[in-house]
Amino acid sequence: MDIIPASDLLEREVAPAETEACRIAILSTPRTGNTWLRRLLDSIYSLPQVVADTPGDVDWDQLPSRCILQLHWPLDIALQSVLSKHEFKVVTLFRNPCDTLISILHFATVWKNTNLWMGGLKGDETSIVGTRPCSREFAEYVSSERAKLLISASADWAETEGCLTVSYESLVHDTTRELIRATEHLQPAPAEVISAAIEANSIAKLRSSVQNQHFWRGQPGIWKTLLPHELVRDIYRHHSAAFEAMSYPSNDDHRLSQSEADANWTGLELATMRQEMAESRRQLKQATDELNQSRWKIRDLEVAFEKAHASIEPLVEVGPTILSLSTRVNRITRFCGGAMASIRHHLGLNGKSIRKGCET
């Protein structure tokens, strides 16, 4: 379990709501906007973010009274009970399964830990790493028990009492409206705070803040240019329950050919590579500028050190002489002190002799 400190992106006075207990749990299919929504809600409510791979990784009794939990996990009665006991409000995200599967395909190639999703239940994404939407491996994956487990998670959680559903497509097309709807269910928030949270967590800004392409395209409906019509029909056939539960159409009129899908995928991957290279160049330039600034600061410190050294160098040269004189003065002082004591002693004796002579 990792706890990310609450966001300090928004400078505002603490509102009364920020002192109230507030626990939110995002339980959804991977690649449906979980992390984006988590960061938006963190910025709105200023909540520590708790990220875990399994319910067993969460130290439930030690959680802060205000937090937002993100967990990819199938509907589970035991987990429901724990969430209820600890007063969590559950949120799940809907996204078109075709877009979700495309996003999983891309992300599995750039991030090697997708096996952590759902605790590795029903397999992992190893078979589709580096493949294409039109590949045999991907066609087999979309019909696998692993894919069914992942895709069904959001639809299953949506059926639970009190669960708030958030549409990824609506979150992209009208972020303000969807967040207002969500906060009315969770905890009302001022309009200006919602606007500031949206500005601070734009997809473009989040994309540049990570190295693993976590925020890839963020474009609803991209599947229409990447999946051939035969595969779209297969996806619907294997995941029809999720399509229907989330009110997505079957897309029977989709007519993209395999050659068109392949060409579009190649173009998209090249565009992604160019984007990554441009971002890498930007980060390299930023790092170079910071390094140059550090070098100038070091040079300024070196100059200051040289000046300080020059100012004390004469003192260093006379140091041995001063030390020798100090030693001699100490010796003379000790000698004079002893001599004066001897004189006082003798004067005292002579004074007594004089007084005795006068008395007789």
Q: Flag whether 343 is in a domain.
A: no
Q: Flag whether 279 is in a domain.
A: yes
Q: Flag whether 357 is in a domain.
A: no
Better-scored residue on pLDDT, 305 or 65: 65
The pLDDT-based confidence of 285 (bands split at 50, 70, 90) is: confident
Q: Flag whether 64 is in a domain.
A: yes
Q: Flag whether 112 is in a domain.
A: yes
Domain with 186, as residue range(s), is 2-256
Query: Rounded to whole angstroms, how far apart are CA atoms 337 and 210?
Result: 77
The pLDDT-based confidence of 147 (bands split at 50, 70, 90) is: very high
The residue-averaged pLDDT of 226-245 equals 95
Q: Flag whether 86 is in a domain.
A: yes
pLDDT tens track for 95-130? 999 999 999 999 998 888 999 999 999 999 999 999
Domain count across the chain:
2
- pLDDT value for 290: 82
Query: Rounded to whole angstroms, how far apart are CA atoms 153 and 32?
Result: 11
CA dihedral (93, 99, 104, 109) in degrees, to 10, reads -140
Q: Flag whether 354 is in a domain.
A: no
pTM over 0.95: no
Nearest to 102 by CA among 264, 257, 212: 264
User: Do 196 and 302 share a structural domain?
Assistant: no
- pLDDT value for 282: 66
pLDDT of 275 strictly over 90: no
User: Do 95 and 20 share a structural domain?
Assistant: yes
In the listed set 256, 288, 314, which residue is the last one of a domain according to the structure? Answer: 256
The answer to whether the CB of 243 falls within 8 A of the CB of 236 is: yes
User: Do 179 and 128 share a structural domain?
Assistant: yes
In the listed set 229, 256, 283, which residue is the last one of a domain according to the structure? Answer: 256
- pLDDT value for 315: 63
